[in-house]
Structure 1
């Protein structure tokens, strides 16, 4: 009734030549915006600033790192302003996540590089705390967190496209597309674009996203993904969309039509563009390099051969920057084993299995399909990417999947 009265008043004042009243922003809208800001700041926090990467804007490395790390403090501050008095929802996932954070903190006490390890462990604890404080918004029927995450991903991809238009030489360093407005490695650009494509397709298949918006998203993000030459992101996205689509296959005709069209396109492409696809997948590497997984296998073998005590076997060497002897580990499971040992690996596996099991037994619908896509993507990517045991986009998206399969999701959460 209040909204109708405001509209009638605006109409009458306009007809009489008076200035219409401004639109009133309700408290629930302000709360929703602060929740969205909190999530956006979490994404900014995991967008590590790489000062050595080529970028257009003259941002000093110290300033860029301060912005990225300070975003976590900002997220904690904003979420405390909206979650008053502090309320959290009980969740097995949250308990496991907080256990992983505490275990990482304990393992880092004995780390060789103590200050760096303790900083990363403290960051993981703060990251988990913010995610815990966001649990009251897990049960919203409008999928606020999912839509916010998609909007943030679109913004990141848009910044990459703008950087490509402004400085194509810098953006295509070594023949792979990276971010230049904010230095983003090609692998991360591929990750963001692949997740944006997958979430867009699942939302469209579920009837929750208009065709025009979905088509625009796909037409922009697919070329970005292909220009990054990131094979892991592409394979994980295809696997996730396939699993999510199968969960909706019997419920929606548009899903069946999409699968039929996709199968036809795949068959046609396999017959006519096989050489192009093979060249793209090879990425200029020979058979020996592909067999060694672009140098990853040597690093993995060295990690497994690393001498360690019983404590280090169980709890690891403390949180690192996911590198070994100066080389990236590029494996979630070996990186987790190196940092937090077998105990950390077990907790991470329980995190994934809990979300996957909850999604599997959830009734058919958009929440289940989105959760299955996100979990499948994280599992496939985890073999050559790291992040499920640290503050990263992968942990953020696994938490997003957990929010979609929360047992009390039938109830409307706070606005």
Structure 2
């Protein structure tokens, strides 16, 4: 290291010449190292800080093709094959082979994506696997042995695929959420195309929009539309996606949701959005402005269009029928009226087709009591509580807000829909919520 002389003292001429000669020898023997400037303070953290980077970068990164393919296969596995007519007739056996066979494809694709065979422990996956294992054991005592065991093994296989995809839990770029949104857009795209090709067929069930390219019931169409719409709005509130994408989603998806005439999806979406917005209220000025504007518009709409809103909610039913959940309470009463042994009350009768005496149960908690008993209800409640605690302790931001929305949405929908105890879009939504609320991954498959 060369020490610069003090300019206040003049050095002798011979000393200066000796210093110059020494500097020349040093330069000849060792080239000077390039000077590198290291930023300090906030500038040093900018490349690694989420706040310093543009928010929209998260949404513009390329999605790994193998992970997307595996998630798409899982999504196909939970698609319902309803009995409504389609534009191009699909035999029921073919539809079931496609949906149920997609689980094996999803497992293979997930293994190809996770070449290092890394798994991340997560309480959600542990509880889901425990539920599946007990369901397999109980199903061996069901009177419909083969079908019951098959459904239980399918749930176990579904949990296995999620275990293989667990390395992508806890990512800052929300990879699994982005895969989920891509699948939602694709499915709703088929619904729109089917409605354009055959509008009479698409609205043939009580005037409610359903899928007719692939037979998707109106309730599931509403579920997909509500999740896509609300999640996109939350991402916009957090400045993760652009305004153009948000406007396009609102303009295209809102009519789909309204055309399904599904009260459960609308109520769950509104309450979920309120909870997600409350979690962001203090930290985002855009959320506060949007909430105020939304409250004003809601009051105006309720005042001006009160009769139209009431007609839409009742769907031609009486207020008494709507209060009884469209006759669902009769089936629920029949399920609980059946005498059971203590072992059946605790662990249920094994996996079924979610019906009782030929009628759909249409309640997750009643169906779980029938199939997996009080044990299944306790495990599913534990899943919701565990995810809620993760959300409460998670840092404020889009991951926490979307996780809360999905959790609240599934909890409300579980009253009049089935799906938390078997492979379904609802348990897939909870898997996305678990991935968002998981701690950030370090040293695993990225």
TM-score exceeds 0.5: yes
- Whether 1:49 aligns to 2:81 is yes
Task: After TM superposition, list the pairs within 5 Å mapping 1:198-277 onto structure 2.
Answer: 198-277=230-309
Distance 1:169 1:82 in 2: 42
Secondary structure of 2:64 counterpart: helix
Contact 2:394 2:437 in 1 (8 A): yes
Give the deviation of 1:114 after TM superposition.
1.1
Question: What's the offset of the Cα at 1:412?
Answer: 7.7
Within the alignment, does 1:381 sit opposite 2:404 as a pair? no
Match of 1:59 among 90, 97, 107: 90
Given that 1:204 and 1:214 are in contact with CA atoms closer than 8 Å, whether structure 2 keeps it comes out as: yes
CA distance in 1, matches of 2:391, 2:443: 19
Task: Decide whether the 8 Å contact of 1:31 with 1:82 is kept in 2.
Answer: no
Q: Deviations over 1:34-87 (max 9, x none)?
A: 11111111111000222x211112322111111111110100011111212311
1:138 is aligned to 2:169: yes
- Work out which of the residue numbers 333, 347, 354 in structure 1 matches 2:386: 354
Is residue 110–residue 164 contact of structure 2 (8 Å, CA) maintained in 1? yes
1:25 corresponds in structure 2 to none
The 5-angstrom pairing of residues 98-177 of structure 1 reads: 98-173=129-204, 174-177=206-209
Q: What is the CA–CA distance in structure 1 between the aligned matches of 2:320 and 2:270, rounded to whole Å?
A: 26
- The 1:280–1:133 alpha-carbon spacing in structure 2 relative to 1, beyond 3 Å, is same
Is residue 124 of structure 2 the alignment partner of residue 93 of structure 1?
yes
**1:307-359 alpha-carbon deviations (Å, 9 max, x no partner):** 11111100001111111111111111111111100001100000110001110
Alpha-carbon separation, structure 1, partners of 2:362 and 2:81: 18
Moved over 4 A (4+): 410-413
* Structure 1: runs of 5 or more not aligned: 1-28
2:338 is equivalent to residue 306 of structure 1: yes
Q: What's the counterpart of residue 218 of structure 2?
A: 186
User: Secondary structure of 2:258's match?
Assistant: helix
CA contact (8 A) 1:140 1:412 kept: no
Distance 1:140 1:65 in 2: 33
Tell me if structure 2 keeps the 8 A contact 1:138–1:413: no
Normalising to structure 2: TM-score of the pair?
A: 0.84
Residue pair 1:374, 1:398 contacting (<8 A) in 2 also: yes
Equivalences for 1:263-342 in 2 at 5 Å? 263-342=295-374
Give the TM-score normalised by structure 1. Answer: 0.91
| Equivalent residue pairs, number | 385
Question: Are the counterparts in 2 of residues 195 and 237 from structure 1 also a CA contact under 8 Å?
Answer: yes
Choose the corresponding residue for 2:110, options 62, 68, 79: 79
Q: Cα distance, 1:279 vs. partner?
A: 0.4
- Rounded to whole Å, the distance in 2 between the matches of 1:56 and 1:247 is 44
Q: Tell me the distance in 2 between the aligned counterparts of 1:312 and 1:358.
A: 32
- Rounded Cα–Cα distance in structure 2 between residues aligned with 1:410 and 1:33: 20
Unaligned runs of 5+ in 2: 1-60
Deviation, 1:191, is 0.5
Deviation at 1:196, TM superposition (A): 0.6
Does the C-alpha gap of structure 1 residues 410 and 136 become closer, same or farther in structure 2, counting only changes over 3 Å? Answer: closer
Residue 260 of structure 1 and its aligned partner are, at CA, apart by: 1.1
- CA gap of 1:144–1:30, structure 2 versus 1, over 3 A, is closer
> How far does residue 30 in structure 1 lie from its aligned partner after superposition?
9.8
